[in-house]
Structure 1
Amino acid sequence: MERALLQAGALIESTVSLHRQRAEEPMPVARTDGMPTVEVLRSLIAPARHTVCAMLTATGEFTDAAVRLLSELPAEVTVRVLCTAEVADLSLGPLTGAPSGRCVARVSRSDLRPIVVVDGASAMVRSEGAAGPAAVVRDPATVRALELFFASAWSRGRRPADHLQLSSRLRTELARNILQRLRDGHTDETAARELNVSLRTYRRYVAEIMRELGATSRFQAGVRAVEFGLLPQ
Structure 2
Amino acid sequence: MQGPKSSGQETGRPSATGGIHHGRTHDEVEQELLELRALIESTVVKHRRRLSRDALVRELGREEVVPAIESLVESAACALDVALSTDAEVSRGTYAALRTTLETRGGSLRARLLCDPAAVDRKFARQVTLAGHHWEVRMTPMPPLCALIVDGSATVVSVGPPGASRASLIRAATVLQAVRNLYSNVWSNATVLTERIHFGDRDRTDTVRLVLQRLRDGVTDEVAARELGFSVRTYRRYVAEIMTLLGAESRFQAGVYAAALGLLPPSGD
Please say whether Structure 1 and Structure 2 have the same fold, judged by a TM-score greater than 0.5.
yes
TM alignment of 1:153-232, pairs within 5 A: 153-160=186-193, 169=209, 173-178=213-218, 192=223, 197=226, 201=230, 203=232, 204-214=234-244, 221-222=250-251, 224-225=253-254, 228=257
Residue of structure 2 equivalent to 1:120: 152
1:29 is matched with 57
Cα distance per residue 1:131-159 (max 9 Å; x no partner): 42311111011112211211121112222
Change (3 A) 1:170 1:134: farther
Alpha-carbon shift at residue 103 of structure 1 (Å): 1.4
- Equivalence for 1:13: 37
- SS of 2:37's equivalent in the other structure is helix
Output the TM-score relative to the length of structure 2: 0.63
Partner residue in 2 for 1:184: none
* Match in the other structure for 1:42: 70
Alignment match, 2:98: 70
Gapped regions of structure 1 (runs ≥ 5)? 182-187
- Percent identity at matched positions? 14
Write the deviation string for residues 164-212 of structure 1: whole angstroms up to 9, x where unpaired: 6689727854332336x5xxxxxx66xx3xx795797572433322221
Say yes or no: does 1:80 pair with 2:133: no
Q: Which amino acid aligns with 1:141?
A: T
- Letter paired with 2:209: R
User: Aligned residue for 1:129?
Assistant: 161
The 8 Å contact of residues 86 and 229 in structure 1, kept in 2 or not, is answered as no
Deviates more, 1:108-117 or 1:65-74: 108-117
CA contact (8 A) 1:70 1:95 kept: no
Q: Is the 8 A contact 2:111 2:136 kept in 1?
A: yes
Match of 1:55 among 78, 83, 90: 83
Q: Tell me, in whole angstroms, the C-alpha distance in 1 between the residues paired with 2:179 and 2:169.
A: 12
Query: For the Cα contact (< 8 Å) 1:85–1:229, is it kept in 2?
Result: no
2-structure distance, mates of 1:68, 1:211: 36
| Structure 1 contact 62–130 (Cα < 8 Å) conserved | no
Specify the code of the residue in structure 1 equivalent to 2:177: R
Which AA in structure 1 matches 2:82?
A
Distance 2:137 2:130 in 1: 11
1:152 aligned to which of 177, 185, 193: 185
Work out the CA distance in 1 between the residues paired with 2:142 and 2:153. 25
Distance 2:213 2:252 in 1: 18
Task: Read off the aligned partner of 1:80 and give its amino acid letter.
Answer: R
Q: 1:98 to 1:90 in 2, by over 3 A?
A: closer
Matched length:
216
SS of equivalent to 1:210: helix
State TM-score, norm by structure 1: 0.71
Partner of 1:37, secondary structure, is helix
Query: CA shift at 1:57, angstroms?
Result: 1.9
Q: Which runs of 5+ in 2 are unaligned?
A: 6-23, 200-204, 261-269
Q: 1:21 to 1:142 in 2, by over 3 A?
A: closer
- The CA distance in 1 between the partners of 2:41 and 2:191, in whole Å, is 33
Change (3 A) 1:138 1:223: same
